[in-house]
Amino acid sequence: MEIRVEKGVAEKHPSELLLLFSFESPEPLEGPIKVVDREWKGFLSTIINQGDFKGELFQCRLLHTQGALPSKRVLLAGLGKKEEFDLEKWRGAASKAGQWIRDSEIKQFAVQIRSIRGFSEEELAESFVTGLLLGIYQFNEFKTLEREKIRRIEEAVLLGETGEEIGRIKQGIDQGLVISEAVCMARDLANAPSNRITPSALAEKAGEIAKDQGLGVEVFGLNEAEAMGMGAFVAVAKGSQEPAKFIILEYNQGKGMDPIVLVGKGITFDSGGISIKPADRMEQMKADMSGAAAVLGAMQAASRLQLPLHLVGIIPATENLPSGKAYKPGDVLKTLSGQTVEVISTDAEGRLILADALTYSLRYKPKAVIDLATLTGAVVIALGDYVIGLFGNNESLQKTVEEASQKTGEKVWRLPLWDEYFDYIKSDVADFKNVGTRAAGAIIGGIFLSKFVEKTPWVHLDIAGPAFIEKERPFMPKGGTGIGVRLLIQLLRDWR
């Protein structure tokens, strides 16, 4: 779809469909819909007063203009209660309207962007584009039948009245495109099966991003990882025939600044290994690389937005499979940090590969390390699938993440990492075990990781809940969500 800005106003602009938003009645009409109503001799007011359109959140109603306006059709779209309006609702409303237009096979629409409740045209345009593109996202790559039935909107025109408005809308569109393309890339990576998205494919993707954006990229194979001493990463990778990759991307517009390192769990398929998982829903473990996908998305967006930062993205990528060469419960692994780990479950593989990746990240003397991982089923038990578990060792970094979370609507909730939890992973034969009790499972995952970041400010985001969903949400079709990408981008844009 092409999205562009044009000079114009709703009541004068010709289009296949004019999209008009309104708050829930009895709120009086305001903004473009009010002007259109006047132009249309109060027709919209009549419809609303009759109770045929209430403006409830995500409500859509189509009208034919019969020549009363330059546009052929009008879609009334509800924003819900005025006092509850925020950008999250706006993204949802843009998505729902977009889905409605697409499903009605209408190919083109126009919408006038005008400041609402103190939000600027730039913010509204960015969030409109984001909600729209994330809402109409479809993963069709592997469908070969009836491809002609795949519906697409071809063009969206965002109207601005004045030169300044147009400038702000343009800016918002550009940012919204960068953000949503990064999220859609992350979704594609999570939705694609593990026979397509192998560790090598992740490395290739990193290479493409690096090439397009002029980033540094380095990829180690298993031999190099072994020679470096990444005993935990290597142990997980050994069970698979698919070559493991340790991927590093670097973007440096930070002018001598110590980097922020983003680390993403890149398990391209998690069978559990010798501690094999039950078959039910095991197919969803193709998305166990969602942390890696978020890191790739954030690196791509940060460089496209030319953020004045020094960023390093690190992705340990491997499958976790059982085989004659696979690591086993009881094995003791020597991590890159020198610390040893007794394997209790080969299904707690994420923390093992992350342990080595976190240790590796310290070579950059980072001012902050943020890891994203579909680490535990336990975080889903604790917080459900709307929320990211937030852990860390640094108050101000955690606050920064929470602020970004509030702006993006990607919810985070803090869980503690008190020293007492460490007792659960004490081992009789090694420095720690990779598994503690079932109780506090998400925290134990976090406590384990904390042993590999020394004193560096660090945040761990357990995205196991929202990374892959079974029921659609306002601007998240079911499947891979690309969670974390918008959170990271917001955090990086606001970094000071």
**Chain residues in the site for Zn ion (CB under 5 A):** 267, 270, 288, 347, 349-350
Residue nearer to ligand BES on the CB measure, 22 or 376: 376
User: How many CA atoms lie less than 13 Å away from 209 in the CB half-sphere?
Assistant: 31
Contact status: 129 vs ligand BES (CB under 6 A): no
**CA–CA separation, 369 vs 312, rounded Å?**
9
Contact status: 270 vs ligand BES (CB under 6 A): yes
Contact status: 350 vs ligand BES (CB under 6 A): yes
Residue 376 binds: one of Zn ion, ligand BES, none (C-beta under 5 to 8 A by kind) = ligand BES
**DSSP string covering 57-74, please?**
TT-EEEEE-TTSSSSSEE
**CA–CA separation, 217 vs 419, rounded Å?**
37
Please select the residue that binds ligand BES; options are 198, 240, 303, 374, rule is CB under 6 A.
374
The pairing of beta strand 310-320 with beta strand 266-270: parallel
**CA–CA separation, 142 vs 364, rounded Å?**
40
Instruction: Please measure the distance between the N-terminal and C-terminal CA atoms of the chain and give it in whole angstroms.
Output: 35
Burial of 150 (0-12, 13-18, 19+ CB in 10 A): exposed
**CA–CA separation, 134 vs 126, rounded Å?**
12
Contact status: 347 vs ligand BES (CB under 6 A): yes
Residue nearer to Zn ion on the CB measure, 266 or 350: 350
Contact status: 135 vs ligand BES (CB under 6 A): no
In the complex, minimum distance from the CB of residue 408 to Zn ion, in angstroms, rounded to a whole number? 25
Contact status: 122 vs ligand BES (CB under 6 A): no
In the complex, minimum distance from the CB of residue 349 to ligand BES, in angstroms, rounded to a whole number? 5
Give the relative orientation of helices 290-304 and 485-493 as an angle to the nearest 10 degrees: 40
Structure tokens at 30: 């305001």
**Are 313 and 366 a contacting pair, CB within 8 Å?**
no
Site string for ligand BES, 271-290 (x = CB under 6 A): -----------------x--
Exactly one of 277, 334, 473, 493 is catalytic; name it. Answer: 277
| CA R_g for the chain | 24
| CA 391-393-398 angle, 5° bins | 60
- Residue labelled with tokens 């009208």: 63
**CA–CA separation, 421 vs 436, rounded Å?**
9
Concerning whether 414 is annotated as a catalytic residue, the answer is no
Q: Which one-letter amino acid corresponds to residue 291?
A: G
Concerning whether 277 is annotated as a catalytic residue, the answer is yes
Residue 464 binds: one of ligand BES, Zn ion, none (C-beta under 5 to 8 A by kind) = ligand BES
Please select the residue that binds ligand BES; options are 55, 273, 441, 446, rule is CB under 6 A.
441
Please select the residue that binds ligand BES; options are 79, 249, 326, 348, rule is CB under 6 A.
348
Name the one range near ligand BES by CB under 6 A: 226-234, 243-251, 297-305, 340-348. 340-348
**Are 95 and 136 a contacting pair, CB within 8 Å?**
yes
In the complex, minimum distance from the CB of residue 464 to ligand BES, in angstroms, rounded to a whole number? 4
Residue nearer to ligand BES on the CB measure, 99 or 268: 268
Exactly one of 286, 351, 433, 451 is catalytic; name it. Answer: 351
Closest residue to ligand BES, based on beta-carbon distance: 377
Contact status: 449 vs ligand BES (CB under 6 A): no
Residue nearer to Zn ion on the CB measure, 160 or 441: 441
The residues binding ligand BES (CB under 6 A) are: 270, 288, 345, 347-350, 374-378, 435, 441, 464
Residues with catalytic roles: 277, 351
